Structure 1
Amino acid sequence: MSGESYINTIKKGHKFRDWLVGVLDDSIRDNNCRINVYKINSASHTVCRYEFVDEGFSVMAKFLAEPKGETKEYDPCDVMIDEYNNLKKVDKIINTSKPIAVNRKFNCALVTEYISGTSLMWYMDHENHLNNRLSDVAALLRKLHDNTKTDFYDKENEFNDFHWNLDFLNLDHYTRNKFNKLLGIWWHSTLVDEKHSYFIHRDVTPLNYIFQDNKVYAIDFESSGYRNRIHDLGVLCAELKNHFALKGSDYRAEPYIRHFLWNYSRDENEFRDITATLPFYMAYGWLRIARLKWHPGYYDYLLKEAKACLNAVK
C-alpha cells in the first residue's frame, strides 16, 4: 500500500497484538503468528496496518486518542463509537471497510477490515479509465444517499460547517466579511433548502475510494452524518478541480466533473437542480483544501475559487 512505512514486528505477549488475535479468533490459524506493523502516512490520527504473517490478511487500526490533524478538542472514545456505528450502518448499504472491534484501553482503537486496491487518486493521477471510476463513485454515493433519506433537514448545519472552515483559516477582517456577506445571500436563497437530509460520507477525498476486483469501496466514515447530499458531490468536484489545477490546468477537470454529476443524476432536471446548488458546496470544498499547508500564491488561488463559487448564487 502506498503511503505507509514499516514500524516493527510484534509477537505473542504484546498486549495489543494478543487482543487483536483474540478479537479475530477463528480467522487466525496460528495463534502464535507474528504481526508486521505499518504506519499510514498523512492520516488525521495514528493509523496502522497490522499484517498477520503467513495468515494472508491484514486489518487497520485507527487510534482516535492520537490526533494528527487540526482537530484535537473532542472526546476520542465518543468519536470511536460513532465511527464504529457509522460503519455498521453503511456496511449494510455500500462496500466499505467492515468494522471489527473497538477498545478504549488502547488509545480508543477502532479496528476495521483492510481494503487493498487502487485509490481514486491513482486514476486521477494517471487519467486511466477515470470516467469509469467516477461513474462507480457516483453510483456508490447515490446508493448511500437514496437508502438513508430522512424527513428532517437542518439548514443551519450546512452553514455551521462553512463557518467552522472560515474560523480555522483565521482570515483577515476584510476577507472574512466578504465571505460572510456571500453566505448571507446563499442563506436567503432557496438553493440550499431541502425537504430531506441524507447520510453522507462527508470526507470525499480521492484517497477514501478504493477499487478492488471491479468494486469501489468507501473508507473512513469518521466525519459522516446527516446533511444535504450535494455536500458530497461538491467536495469531490472541488477535489477534482484542485487536482488538475496542481497539474497545470483546472479546466481539464470540467469534463470529468460533468461526467460525475451526470452519472449521479437521475435525469436532466435533477442534473440542473444539482448544478445550481453545487457551487455552494464546491466553495466549502475549496476552503477545506485551503486548510492544508500551501504556498501563499496557491492559497490565494484556493480562496479566489471559493469566492467565485459563492458569487454564483442567483
Structure 2
Amino acid sequence: MASRYVNTLKPGDPFRDWLAEEVVEHRLRNKKCSVNVFKYDSSHTVCRYQFMGENFSVMAKFFAEPTGRMKDYNPYKGMMNEYRNLKKAASVINVAKPLAFNKKFNCVLVTEHIPGKSLAWYFNHEEKLYERLSAVAHMLRELHENTKSSYNKENEFRNYHEVLDHLNLDHETREGFNKLLGQWWYSSLLNREQGCMVHRDATPSNYIFCKGKPYALDFESSWYQAHPVRDLGILTAELKNEFELHRGGGWRAEPYIGNFLWEYCTGEKDFNYVTGVLPFFMSIGLIRSARVHQGNYRNYLIKEAHECLKAINKK
C-alpha cells in the first residue's frame, strides 16, 4: 500500500511525545528524535511514524477520522474491538501486534509496523505467488483451527443481505439472489457444529511478507462464531478479480485458487468439503468488490456472484 510523506513532528508535539515517552520509549536510543509521518489511503486516517535515526516505525489508525463510506459509527468501540481482535489473533498467528490505544488522540490504535511486500504486490507481479498463497493458507488454517467456537449461520446470511442492500439492485436481480440464498439456507451444506475466528477482510493488501513470513493486518472487521471458508472465499474472489482486470481473464486464476485451497486443507475429504461450500463465500467476495466498481465491471461482478450461488443447484 503506497504512502506519502506529510509531516515531521518535533519534541513538544503532544502525539509525538506520547509515542516516544509512553508507547515505544524502551525502543528508542534518542528520546528527543524527530518523527517523520507518512500517510496511507485507507478507510480511516492511517499513518506510519518513522523515528529518525532509529530505524524504527509504528503504525497508527485513527478511528475517529473515517475517510470511507462508513461515517456513522462508534470510534471508541471500533478501536477497542480491533485491539482485542489483534490480541486474540496474535496468540495464534503473526500479526502487526497492538502496542497502545488512546481515546484522546481521535481514538488511535498504535501497532507494530511490519516492513515488507504485501500479497497484493505478489498478485500484481505474479512472482512467487504459489509460495505466498500457500503461506497465507497455512496461516489462515492456524487461525481457524485454534479459535474454535460455536457457529452462527444466521450471521453469515444476514451479512450477505446487508452487502446486497448496499448495491441497490433492481427488483428482478435482487429476487434472483434472494431465491438462491434461500436454497443455500435450507440445504445442509453450510450447517456445521463449530465456527471460529475469521479475519474477514482477507484482501491481498492485508497480508505482508517480512523475511519470508506472512503477517496479517487490520482486524477491525474480524468475526467470531464464523464459517472458516469465509476467509478463503474472500481471498479467492480477490484473486479472480485481479486476473480478470489485469491478467487476461479470471480463468487464469484457477490454478492458483486450486493450489491455495489444497494447501489450506488437511486432505482430500477436507478439500471436497471446502470446495463444496466455497461458491457461497466466493460470491460474497465478488459482491463486496462490486461495491467499489462502476459500470460494466460492476455488472460483471454481480453476474459472477450470482453464477457462484447457482452451484447449489448442482449439489
TM-score, normalized by length of structure 1? 0.97
Cα deviation for residue 73 of structure 1 reads 2.2
Q: What is the DSSP-based 3-state SS (H/G/I as helix, E as strand, rest coil) of the residue aligned with 2:8? A: strand
1:84 corresponds to which residue?
83
1:176 corresponds to which residue?
174
Aligned mates of 1:123, 1:210 — CA distance in 2: 10
1:46 corresponds to which residue?
45
Residues 35-77 of structure 1 show CA distances to partners (whole Å, capped at 9, x for unaligned) of: 0000012x11110000000011100000001112222222110
Aligned mates of 1:46, 1:175 — CA distance in 2: 36
User: Is residue 218 from structure 1 mapped to residue 224 from structure 2 by the alignment?
Assistant: no
Tell me the amino acid that sits aligned with residue 265 of structure 1: C
2:238 corresponds to which residue?
239
1:262 corresponds to which residue?
262
Corresponding residue pairs, total? 310
Tell me the amino acid that sits aligned with residue 31 of structure 2: N
Aligned mates of 2:295, 2:8 — CA distance in 1: 42
Cα deviation for residue 19 of structure 1 reads 0.7
Q: What is the DSSP-based 3-state SS (H/G/I as helix, E as strand, rest coil) of the residue aligned with 1:84? A: helix
Q: What is the DSSP-based 3-state SS (H/G/I as helix, E as strand, rest coil) of the residue aligned with 2:138? A: helix
Aligned mates of 1:191, 1:70 — CA distance in 2: 33
Q: What is the DSSP-based 3-state SS (H/G/I as helix, E as strand, rest coil) of the residue aligned with 2:311? A: coil
Cα deviation for residue 277 of structure 1 reads 0.3
Cα deviation for residue 5 of structure 1 reads 0.7
2:301 corresponds to which residue?
302
1:65 corresponds to which residue?
64
Residues 66-89 of structure 1 show CA distances to partners (whole Å, capped at 9, x for unaligned) of: 112222222110110110111111
1:97 corresponds to which residue?
96
Aligned mates of 2:84, 2:231 — CA distance in 1: 20
1:275 corresponds to which residue?
275
2:199 corresponds to which residue?
201
Tell me the amino acid that sits aligned with residue 88 of structure 1: K
Aligned mates of 1:174, 1:14 — CA distance in 2: 57
Residues 105-161 of structure 1 show CA distances to partners (whole Å, capped at 9, x for unaligned) of: 1110000000010111111111111101111000000000010011x1111000011
In angstroms, what is the RMSD of aligned CA positions?
0.9
Tell me the amino acid that sits aligned with residue 16 of structure 1: F
Aligned mates of 1:47, 1:189 — CA distance in 2: 42
> Equivalent residues in 2 for 1:10-159 (5 A)?
10-22=9-21, 23-41=23-41, 43-150=42-149, 152-159=150-157
- Structure 2 gaps, min length 5: none
Cα deviation for residue 295 of structure 1 reads 3.4
Tell me the amino acid that sits aligned with residue 75 of structure 2: P
Bigger CA drift: 171-180 or 50-59?
171-180
Aligned mates of 1:154, 1:203 — CA distance in 2: 18
Tell me the amino acid that sits aligned with residue 203 of structure 2: T
- Structure 1 gaps, min length 5: none
Aligned mates of 2:50, 2:170 — CA distance in 1: 47
